[in-house]
């Protein structure tokens, strides 16, 4: 029962994170909305599941051997299911889909480098400070805002799916 609670937290957290990404539509306030919801979700789920909400973060935690391979795989499945459910709900509401992506007019190496850098930073913050640190919210919100602006106003691609 305790194991299932962890997996459901990952599903719920990823669901709301991806839904907010879709609902913000890439407007100028998107980083604040995304960072804020992620901050709240991390505080909600941190004590239960670790609040990873992203297969890349789960992989980083697995590499550090802070989670078992079995748990990591199940976390990833629930994260993907949560993201898929949010995308489906978005489709039901608006009749179309959304996909966070870099600006197509810039060299793909720029967003790829930023993607790698900020996924590392997010994983590091989760690993080192985890959900217990009050500065986590500032780190999440500011990194989302910086990433958004470096992507020429497009949504960050380091978020789930």
pLDDT digits (tens, 9 = 90+) for 13-34: 999 999 998 998 767 777 778 8
DSSP-assigned states of every residue in 41-95: HHHHHHHHH----SHHHHHHHHHTTSS-HHHHHHHHHHHHHHHHHHHHHHHHHHS
The residues, any chain, with a CB within 8 Å of residue 66's CB and separated by 6 or more, are 127
Closest CA to 127 of 62, 69, 71, 72: 62
Closest CA to 24 of 111, 90, 78, 82: 90
CB 78 within 8 A of CB 11: yes
What pLDDT is attached to residue 87?
A: 93
Q: Is a pLDDT exceeding 70 seen at residue 142? A: no
More confident residue, 159 or 11: 11
d(CA 95, CA 93): 6
What confidence tier does 154 reach under pLDDT thresholds 50, 70, 90? Answer: very low
Span 54-97, pLDDT tens digits? 888 888 888 888 889 999 999 999 999 999 999 999 999 999 88
Mean residue pLDDT of the chain comes to: 78
What confidence tier does 155 reach under pLDDT thresholds 50, 70, 90? Answer: very low
What pLDDT is attached to residue 159?
A: 47
The residue written with tokens 């608006």 in the block is: 94
More confident residue, 112 or 144: 112
């Amino acid at each position: 029962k305790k194991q299932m609670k962890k997996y459901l937290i990952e599903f719920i957290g990823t669901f709301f994170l991806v839904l907010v990404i879709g609902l913000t539509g890439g407007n100028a306030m998107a980083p604040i909305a995304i960072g804020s919801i992620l901050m709240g979700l991390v505080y909600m789920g941190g004590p239960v599941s670790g609040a990873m909400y992203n297969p890349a973060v789960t992989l980083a935690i697995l590499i550090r051997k802070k989670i078992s391979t079995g748990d990591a795989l199940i976390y990833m499945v629930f994260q993907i299911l949560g993201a898929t459910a949010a995308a489906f709900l978005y489709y039901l509401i608006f009749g179309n889909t959304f996909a966070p992506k870099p600006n197509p007019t810039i060299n793909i190496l720029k967003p790829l480098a930023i993607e790698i850098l900020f996924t590392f930073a997010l994983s590091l913050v989760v690993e080192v400070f985890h959900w217990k640190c009050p500065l986590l919210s500032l780190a999440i919100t500011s990194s989302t805002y910086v990433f958004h602006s470096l992507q020429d106003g497009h949504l960050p691609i380091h978020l789930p799916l």
